Amino acid sequence: MSIAPSTTTAEAPHEPTPAPSPSRWAPLRPLVLRLHFYAGVLVAPFLLVAAATGFLYAGAFQAERLVYAHELTVPVGDRELPISQQVTAARTAHPEGTVSAVRPSPEDGATTRVMLSGVKGIAADHTLAVFVDPYTAKVRGALEQYGSTGALPLRTWIDELHRDLHLGQTGRLYSELAASWLWVIAGGGLALWFSRRRALRKVRGTSGRRRTLGLHGTVGVWAAVGFIFLSATGLTWSTYAGANIDQLRTSLGQSTPSVSAAAGGEHAGHGGSSATGNAQHGVGLDKILAAARAKGLGNPVEIVPPADANSAYVVRQVQRSWPEKQDAVAVDPATGKVTDELRFADYPLLAKLTRWGIDLHTGVLFGLVNQLALMLLAGSLILLIVWGYRMWWQRGRGSSFGRPIPRGAWAQMPPLLLVPCLAAIAVLGYFIPLLGIPLAAFIAVDVVLGEIAHRRGSRTYAK
């Protein structure tokens, strides 16, 4: 007689173990199941916030184009005016602060941005972007800007909400916690899903908790690779894990290089200083830009004025979409000659992968397609969290965590598996503190509860 699809392994103990290799998987499955459950229940609220705000951020790029269309676009004219004239117009309209960078119009119909730092009322890590019509030198407006991607107020607000909930450095712990655990939850879910018999993975024809589990597992399997990628790339610029990753890359000689901005030569010290705030030093911006163009730096580019009298201009490409353009040159302000070059092709492998990973994570590498994919991933994560909590409720009606998972999983593991697992946890905990610390707490609580249950003789088992 066949087994009904809705029958679980607990309800039919005479069925063979669903795992393909019971001798290897059987000791690990209870541990993975319990970890997946605890992490899912306790970390899910942080993941839910990260997913919702990430969904908004992915859509902010297109919203920004609509909201700030007046500042970003102009009617196409006959020819563009010299960049020096455009900067002069921006400084006439906004003489406050100093020029920290200039981004010439990257394409027909796009404005030039002149970024001012040290402006009253603008955060220290932000700039005031003045938008100039490249054909008429008329100022179209000025907006606060943040980051290397040129985020304007709408996207900046959403970005900070996603990154730290507008709580500053303390708030960043929430996003690092979410990133630290997302790959663990996704990987554990994959292992649990593929360890089940094919019949138990079906959604069609099922109902109740079985149907919720089927939906949760199916969507989770399809989205798991994306979740692991988001987790890994999110950690690269987190507070604690990010610092450890940077140290590791540096020790391996894989840190991101930078072009040397030392002017050098007999003319050093005579190129002027950005302290004047006008960015018009030595040979002038137009010759500086022409020197960079001669070295093959096409649009979009950013011109950074010398930091002091002994520094050079730095002209760098800022295209983060595929194919990325990240070449940079340093130009002597006194002679207009290139003093140093840096090509993205010469970046170390890990530096390239980091750059591509971050840009893919933030939705700029493949433009609209990238952003839609991120929104789909965020929406999938939201659904998975809702289904996860629903399963918890359906199993035990929401009381006492539903008593879903057997305790004592650690004690049941053979030493040959337990010792490597503990070693791996220790290493991961060191490099990813917001994974290691909560995991240690989970284990401690599990051990204590297991001992209490053992003494009371009331250990429970999952279906």
Residue with tokens 């394409």: 107
C-alpha distance from residue 193 to each of 36, 185, 385, 453 (Å)? 12, 12, 16, 28
How far apart CA 41 and CA 33 sit, in angstroms, is 12
Is residue 410 in some structural domain? Answer: yes
User: Residues 177, 45: one domain?
Assistant: yes
Please say if the pLDDT value at position 10 is more than 70.
no
Is residue 197 in some structural domain? Answer: yes
Question: What mean pLDDT do residues 260-265 have?
Answer: 74
User: CA 171, 177, 183: angle at the middle one, nearest 5?
Assistant: 145
User: Residues 261, 342: one domain?
Assistant: yes
In terms of DSSP H, where are the helices of 295-342?
A: none
User: Residues 193, 324: one domain?
Assistant: no
Q: What percent of the chain lies above the pLDDT cut of 90? A: 64
Sheet of strand 328-331: strand arrangement: 139-146, 126-132, 112-117, 98-103, 301-304, 313-317, 328-331, 338-342
Lowest-pLDDT range, 175-184, 319-328, 410-419?
A: 410-419
Residue with tokens 């649009």: 299
Which of 98, 126, 151 is where one domain is finished? Answer: 151
pLDDT of res. 45 = 95
Domain count, the chain: 3
φ, ψ of residue 99 in degrees (nearest 5):
-75, 120
pLDDT of res. 194 = 85
User: Residues 105, 138: one domain?
Assistant: yes
Is residue 89 in some structural domain? Answer: yes
Is residue 285 in some structural domain? Answer: yes
Pairing of strands 301-304, 313-317: antiparallel
Give the residue from 85, 93, 98 showing the smallest Cα distance to 278: 98
pLDDT of res. 278 = 63
User: Residues 436, 319: one domain?
Assistant: no
- Round the average pLDDT of the chain to a whole number and report it: 86
Assign residue 78 the CATH number of its domain.
3.10.450
User: Residues 243, 300: one domain?
Assistant: no
pLDDT band at 81 (very low <50, low <70, confident <90, very high): very high
Question: What mean pLDDT do residues 408-431 have?
Answer: 78
pLDDT of res. 109 = 97
How far apart CA 460 and CA 286 sit, in angstroms, is 76
User: Residues 52, 131: one domain?
Assistant: no
How far apart CA 460 and CA 463 sit, in angstroms, is 10
Is residue 436 in some structural domain? Answer: yes
Please say if the pLDDT value at position 398 is more than 70.
no
pLDDT of res. 262 = 86
For residue 458, what are the contacts with CB-CB under 8 A and spacing of at least 6?
Answer: none
User: Residues 281, 245: one domain?
Assistant: no
Which of 100, 123, 151 is where one domain is finished? Answer: 151
Tokens standing for residue 319? 């295209």
Q: Write out pLDDT tens, residues 119-177.
A: 999 999 999 999 999 999 999 999 999 988 899 999 999 999 999 999 998 999 999 99
Q: Write out pLDDT tens, residues 377-390.
A: 999 999 999 999 99
How far apart CA 440 and CA 122 sit, in angstroms, is 42
Lowest-pLDDT range, 69-73, 249-253, 304-308, 426-430?
A: 426-430
How far apart CA 425 and CA 221 sit, in angstroms, is 24
User: Residues 403, 264: one domain?
Assistant: no
C-alpha distance from residue 98 to each of 95, 101, 413, 461 (Å)? 8, 9, 64, 67
Q: Which residue has the higher pLDDT, 253 or 196?
A: 253
pTM for the model stands at 0.85
User: Residues 47, 191: one domain?
Assistant: yes
Please say if the pLDDT value at position 391 is more than 90.
no
Find the domain containing 122 and state its range: 69-151
Please say if the pLDDT value at position 231 is more than 90.
yes
pLDDT band at 309 (very low <50, low <70, confident <90, very high): confident
pLDDT band at 8 (very low <50, low <70, confident <90, very high): very low
φ, ψ of residue 141 in degrees (nearest 5):
150, 180
User: CA 196, 409, 411: angle at the middle one, nearest 5?
Assistant: 145
Which of 82, 117, 151 is where one domain is finished? Answer: 151
Is residue 11 in some structural domain? Answer: no
Most confident residue range from 11-20, 29-38, 86-95, 451-460: 86-95
φ, ψ of residue 114 in degrees (nearest 5):
-115, 115
Is residue 363 in some structural domain? Answer: no
Lowest-pLDDT range, 90-94, 128-132, 187-191?
A: 187-191
Give the residue from 123, 444, 86, 26 showing the smallest Cα distance to 285: 86
Please say if the pLDDT value at position 215 is more than 50.
yes
Q: Write out pLDDT tens, residues 274-305.
A: 434 566 667 899 999 999 999 999 999 999 99
pLDDT of res. 279 = 66
User: Residues 209, 340: one domain?
Assistant: no
User: Residues 147, 122: one domain?
Assistant: yes
Is residue 101 in some structural domain? Answer: yes
